[in-house]
């Protein structure tokens, strides 16, 4: 029994951490129409940034600044934001494919850099030597995991609140107006590229927070954790939840993460040995089918946006148009 509860706590913690990333992506794609093809790079920047800043001193590579944990976490978020700023400033004035290609490229280059540059973050071995915050008081066991789950849920709630307030603010209305029609923003005297850049950065900082929490939870991060598949998983979560809808984004994260772990478990448990080598391939095909299938048959997601508050505060449409 305690095993099941332990597992549920573990599962919920990871799903909640990923939900935060899905929320960040939702701001970029769902609310601003920005394509982020390298979610994993911003996630990784947050993860590596947090561990490098907050970890204990290491001889082989950079890091071990032992900075107070909340500051280390914020440092990771800032790293992700900086990366988004560089990519955004170069691409957001061009047609939208450029952002897609550049963000995809960032992810490839990021993983490649961390795998090779051993002096930076331990190379393929990954980054160790991180003491989880408050670990001295709470130990490593069940108590700690419950505490950490609560911590993650609080941050998830805070992110959710923040985004709900943001998309109802004048800035959020501008984002939505621009997603529909760029001239609308121009006519208000706003620079669309700047608005998009702000949204890209905020979204990436949130994705960075998710990465920081992920690395904290495992007290370890390696290039294996920042492979492109994570980007696809996070997309699938948002597509299933319904782009533009924050509640759906969180629900999508839990649904897809459950499906992913269940399919992995099922394949390793029941599939014949020769198939097990291909577990990854089968799961990737499933994720691909989820993405394509949803776009073809249910583009609004399983949990479509119920209401959109117009400027006067009234409900003006019942479904997301995308």
What residues are paired with 127 via a beta bridge?
A: 221
CA-to-CA distance for 229 and 264, rounded, in angstroms?
14
Taking CB under 8 A as the criterion, the residue among 71, 157, 278, 317 binding another protein is 278
The region of 58-66, 136-144, 283-291, 305-313 touching another protein under the rule CB under 8 A is: 283-291
Helix axes 228-241, 279-297, angle to 10 degrees: 30
Build a one-symbol-per-residue string for 120-159: x at contacts with another protein by CB under 8 A, - elsewhere.
----------------------------------------
291-310: which residues touch another protein (CB under 8 A)? 291-292, 295-296, 299
Torsion of CA 250, 256, 260, 261, to 10 degrees: 40
User: Does the protein bind another protein through residue 94 (CB under 8 A)?
Assistant: yes
CA-based Rg of the chain, rounded to a whole angstrom? Answer: 20
Taking CB under 8 A as the criterion, the residue among 14, 18, 37, 63 binding another protein is 37
Angle, alpha carbons 156-157-162 (nearest 5°): 100
- 3-state DSSP call for residue 308? coil
The region of 203-211, 260-268, 280-288, 305-313 touching another protein under the rule CB under 8 A is: 280-288
69-88: which residues touch another protein (CB under 8 A)? none
CB 314 within 8 Å of CB 308: no
Helix then strand count (H, E) for the chain reads 14, 0
Build a one-symbol-per-residue string for 158-197: x at contacts with another protein by CB under 8 A, - elsewhere.
------------------------x---------------
CA-to-CA distance for 195 and 191, rounded, in angstroms?
7
Footprint of another protein on this chain (CB under 8 A)?
29, 33, 35, 37, 90-91, 93-98, 100-102, 104-106, 108-109, 112-113, 115-116, 182, 232, 235, 239, 277-278, 280-282, 284-285, 287-292, 295-296, 299, 322
């Amino acid at each position: 029994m305690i095993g099941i509860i332990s597992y549920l706590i573990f599962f919920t913690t990871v799903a909640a951490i990923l939900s935060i990333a899905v929320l960040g992506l939702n701001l970029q794609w769902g609310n601003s129409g920005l394509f982020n093809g390298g979610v994993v790079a911003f996630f990784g920047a947050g993860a590596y940034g947090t561990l490098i800043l907050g970890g204990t001193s290491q001889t082989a590579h950079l890091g071990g600044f032992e900075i107070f944990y909340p500051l280390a976490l914020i440092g990771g978020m800032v790293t992700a934001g900086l990366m988004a700023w560089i990519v955004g400033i170069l691409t957001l004035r061009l047609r939208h494919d450029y952002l897609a290609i550049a963000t995809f490229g960032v992810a490839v280059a990021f993983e490649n850099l961390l795998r090779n540059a051993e002096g930076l973050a331990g190379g393929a071995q990954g980054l160790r030597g991180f003491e989880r915050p408050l670990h001295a008081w709470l130990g490593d066991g069940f108590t700690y995991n419950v505490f950490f789950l609560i911590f993650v849920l609080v941050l998830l709630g805070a992110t959710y609140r923040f985004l709900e307030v943001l998309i109802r603010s004048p800035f959020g209305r501008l984002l939505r107006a621009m997603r529909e029609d760029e001239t609308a923003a121009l006519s208000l005297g706003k620079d669309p590229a700047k608005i998009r850049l702000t949204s890209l950065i905020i979204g990436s900082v949130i994705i960075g927070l998710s990465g920081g929490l992920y690395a904290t939870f495992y007290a370890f991060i390696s290039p294996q954790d920042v492979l492109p598949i994570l980007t696809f998983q996070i997309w699938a979560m948002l597509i299933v939840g319904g782009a533009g809808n924050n509640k759906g984004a969180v629900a999508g994260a839990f649904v897809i993460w459950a499906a992913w772990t269940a399919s992995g478990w099922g394949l390793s448990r029941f599939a014949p040995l020769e198939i097990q080598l291909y577990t990854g391939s089968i799961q990737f095909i499933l994720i691909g089918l989820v993405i394509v299938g949803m776009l073809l048959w249910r583009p609004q997601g399983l949990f479509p946006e119920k209401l959109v508050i117009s400027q006067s505060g009234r409900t003006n449409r019942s479904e997301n148009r995308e």
